[in-house]
């Protein structure tokens, strides 16, 4: 009776997450966070609200001929690699389970379990992919999924871009050759470093800062070591540009982990790399990031000061970076209590530049910036300007587009929860907060957790209502209270 009740509760929870657009892989990740001791096969079964018998029944429905699967075998598959009662699922068995759970074969195994298969079996497992059966799986972006694998610096090829593992391993080998033999360190090695940083950024969006940081720091160590020794001036300059990019990204990861000292250190290193490379726009870009960090720390004066320094410095910022700088300036004005006329005028100026910008597809600073980014930054300005209802609408418009990375989805759901609470919509705010909390806990985003604490604080007048109370309880269970907020 108790087990069936727990399954019903799990199914209700999964249904709610499905309505919010979560994939089955994301929901399995949520269940894994709640019960860290369970393996991936158990997490996926629980995400679907199935008993061992249910899985066996679905298995038999998908096969031709006489039913052969029984619930005890499903149990054995989940218990493996326990020697007492476990049974290793074959590649064919993993293919069937992946069909039932609408996932990949690789997601049903931990790193340790995966390593117990032969090379040929691992090749078969890597080809198992039934995510197309998941109606919530977005086709226009990389799948936002929780890694249930162990994180370490040597797991780059497993946790970053798993679906392009072969190319990643080739890049790793070539980069290792360049690192061990300086004479091989040329412009092609710099290109490899840029690709590795791109993989780190992709991992951050899908898996969170904790997963992406070790590999990012490893790449930066390579850059810092070889930047001192390179004699080819152009290759060294390109490597320094990669260093500025990587250092700014490392600062971002530490911002997400709420380590402001480390974030500040890497922003300063990014400036130094840019100065050595003679890259003026990058120096202005770092000032923009310092302004954004000041905003997160609720320092209104420095938010505005850094934004204006970025705007008026001795460089020509790319149009999209200038748009973001103007929005930061508007945010600083709002925090300092300027009239909405001043804020609106600055935002209009930013909008005008964005509308006239032609995207030629060349990689450059601010290439990530698009219409949705503009709306999100504008929503933030509206919150600071005392217009939370309009902010909640803008956040919702972007969230419904389904284009955000999983990390960003969590953060901006938390931001929307704050806006809704300030608008006097406690139940909607709490529900949005719970959705953000599931992801934030899985990817260990302290930045999102901080926004959720602000949402809980804003919901204080309605703390006796069920939905705000549930959010507050979930926060106590899943979010560690910092020494100072």
Q: What is the pLDDT of residue 420?
A: 97
**What are the tokens at 320?**
């999209």
289 within a domain of the structure (yes/no):
no
pLDDT band at 392 (very low <50, low <70, confident <90, very high): very high
Instruction: List the single range of 16-25, 200-209, 236-245, 372-381 with lowest mean pLDDT.
Output: 16-25
347 versus 11: which is more confidently predicted? Answer: 347
Instruction: List the single range of 139-143, 297-301, 397-401 with lowest mean pLDDT.
Output: 139-143
Whether residues 195 and 271 share a domain: the answer is yes
Look at residue 149 and tell me whether its pLDDT is greater than 50.
no
pLDDT band at 171 (very low <50, low <70, confident <90, very high): low
The total number of structural domains that make up the chain? 2
Average pLDDT over residues 378-385: 96
Whether residues 43 and 155 share a domain: the answer is no
Average pLDDT over residues 176-182: 57
369 within a domain of the structure (yes/no):
no
Average pLDDT over residues 363-367: 75
pLDDT band at 214 (very low <50, low <70, confident <90, very high): confident
Look at residue 310 and tell me whether its pLDDT is greater than 70.
yes
231 within a domain of the structure (yes/no):
yes
Average pLDDT over residues 456-462: 96
Whether residues 123 and 156 share a domain: the answer is no
Look at residue 104 and tell me whether its pLDDT is greater than 50.
yes
Backbone angles phi, psi at 129, to 5 degrees: -150, 105
User: How does pLDDT run across 20-49, given as a tens digit for each residue?
Assistant: 667 888 788 777 656 767 889 998 998 898
317 within a domain of the structure (yes/no):
no
> 443-466: buried (b, 16+ CB within 10 Å) or exposed (e) per residue?
bbbbbbbbbbbbbbebbeebeeee
218 within a domain of the structure (yes/no):
yes
Q: Which of 74, 106, 133 represents a domain boundary (last residue)?
A: 133
Average pLDDT over residues 262-279: 94
Whether residues 162 and 125 share a domain: the answer is no
3-state secondary structure of 155: helix
**Is 43 within 8 Å of 148 (Cβ atoms)?**
yes
Whether residues 104 and 224 share a domain: the answer is no
Whether residues 13 and 91 share a domain: the answer is yes
pLDDT band at 212 (very low <50, low <70, confident <90, very high): confident
pLDDT band at 147 (very low <50, low <70, confident <90, very high): very low
User: How does pLDDT run across 227-240, given as a tens digit for each residue?
Assistant: 877 778 888 899 99
Whether residues 7 and 128 share a domain: the answer is yes
Write down the H helix ranges in 313-425: 319-335, 340-356, 371-384, 388-401, 406-422
Residue 7's contacts (CB-CB under 8 Å, 6 or more residues apart) are 46, 49, 50, 51
**Is 71 within 8 Å of 54 (Cβ atoms)?**
no
Query: How would you classify residue 364: left for phi > 0, otherwise alpha for psi between -120 and 50, otherwise beta?
Result: beta
387 within a domain of the structure (yes/no):
no
Whether residues 68 and 158 share a domain: the answer is no
Q: Which of 278, 311, 346 represents a domain boundary (last residue)?
A: 278
Q: What is the pLDDT of residue 377?
A: 96
Average pLDDT over residues 461-471: 93
296 within a domain of the structure (yes/no):
no
Of 237, 323, 222, 319, the closest CA to residue 273 belongs to 237
Instruction: List the single range of 63-72, 123-132, 171-180 with lowest mean pLDDT.
Output: 171-180
Whether residues 116 and 170 share a domain: the answer is no
Average pLDDT over residues 260-281: 94
Predicted TM-score of the model (pTM)? 0.65
Look at residue 159 and tell me whether its pLDDT is greater than 50.
no
- How far apart CA 44 and CA 358 sit, in angstroms, is 45
Q: Which of 80, 105, 133 represents a domain boundary (last residue)?
A: 133
Instruction: List the single range of 99-108, 363-372, 453-462 with lowest mean pLDDT.
Output: 363-372
User: How does pLDDT run across 51-70, given as a tens digit for each residue?
Assistant: 999 999 999 998 876 778 99
**What are the tokens at 330?**
């508007």
Whether residues 29 and 125 share a domain: the answer is yes
pLDDT band at 456 (very low <50, low <70, confident <90, very high): very high
Range of the domain at 16: 2-133
Mean pLDDT of the chain: 84
Q: What is the pLDDT of residue 249?
A: 95
Whether residues 8 and 126 share a domain: the answer is yes
Average pLDDT over residues 118-130: 88
Instruction: List the single range of 111-125, 172-186, 446-460 with lowest mean pLDDT.
Output: 172-186
129 beta partners = 104
143 within a domain of the structure (yes/no):
no
Whether residues 14 and 66 share a domain: the answer is yes
């Amino acid at each position: 009776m108790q087990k069936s009740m727990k399954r019903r509760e799990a199914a209700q929870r999964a249904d709610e997450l499905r309505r919010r657009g979560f994939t089955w892989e994301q929901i399995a990740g949520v269940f894994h966070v709640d019960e860290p001791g369970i393996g991936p096969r158990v997490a996926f079964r629980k995400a679907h609200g199935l008993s061992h018998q249910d899985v066996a029944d679905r298995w038999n429905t998908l096969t031709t001929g006489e039913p052969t699967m029984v619930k005890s075998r499903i149990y054995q598959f989940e218990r493996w690699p326990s020697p007492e009662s476990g049974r290793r699922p074959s590649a064919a068995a993993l293919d069937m389970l992946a069909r039932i759970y609408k996932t990949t074969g690789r997601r049903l195994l931990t790193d340790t379990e995966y390593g117990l298969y032969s090379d040929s079996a691992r090749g078969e497992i890597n080809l198992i992919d039934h995510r197309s059966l998941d109606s919530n799986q977005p086709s226009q972006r990389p799948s936002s999924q929780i890694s249930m694998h162990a994180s370490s610096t040597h797991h780059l090829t497993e946790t970053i871009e798993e679906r392009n593992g072969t190319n990643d391993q080739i890049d790793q080998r070539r980069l290792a050759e360049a690192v061990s033999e300086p004479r091989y360190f040329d412009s092609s090695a710099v290109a490899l470093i840029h690709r590795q940083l791109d993989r780190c950024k992709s991992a951050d969006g899908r898996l969170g800062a904790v997963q992406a940081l070790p590999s990012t720091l490893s790449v930066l160590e390579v850059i810092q070591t070889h930047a001192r020794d390179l004699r080819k001036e152009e290759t060294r300059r390109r490597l320094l540009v990669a260093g500025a990019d990587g250092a700014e990204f490392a600062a971002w990861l530490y911002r997400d982990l709420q380590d402001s000292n480390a974030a500040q250190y890497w922003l300063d290193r990014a400036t130094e790399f840019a100065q050595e490379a003679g890259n003026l726009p990058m120096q202005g870009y770092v000032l923009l990031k310092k302004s954004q960090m000041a905003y997160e720390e609720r320092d209104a004066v420095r938010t505005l000061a850094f934004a204006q320094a970025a705007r008026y410095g001795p460089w020509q910022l790319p149009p999209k970076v200038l748009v973001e700088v103007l929005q930061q300036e508007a945010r600083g004005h709002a925090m300092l209590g300027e009239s909405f006329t001043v804020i609106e005028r600055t935002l209009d100026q930013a909008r005008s530049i964005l509308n006239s910008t032609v995207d030629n597809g060349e990689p450059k600073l601010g290439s990530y910036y698009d219409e949705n980014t503009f709306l999100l930054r504008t929503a933030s300005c509206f919150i600071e300007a005392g217009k939370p209802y309009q902010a909640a609408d803008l956040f919702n418009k972007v969230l419904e587009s389904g284009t955000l990375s999983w990390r960003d989805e969590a953060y901006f759901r938390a931001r929307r929860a704050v806006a809704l609470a300030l608008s006097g919509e406690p139940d909607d705010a709490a529900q949005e907060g719970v959705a953000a909390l599931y992801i934030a806990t899985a990817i260990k985003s302290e930045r999102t957790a901080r926004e959720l604490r602000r949402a809980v604080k804003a919901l204080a007048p309605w703390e006796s209502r069920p939905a705000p109370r549930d959010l507050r309880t979930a926060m106590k269970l899943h979010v560690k209270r910092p020494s100072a907020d």
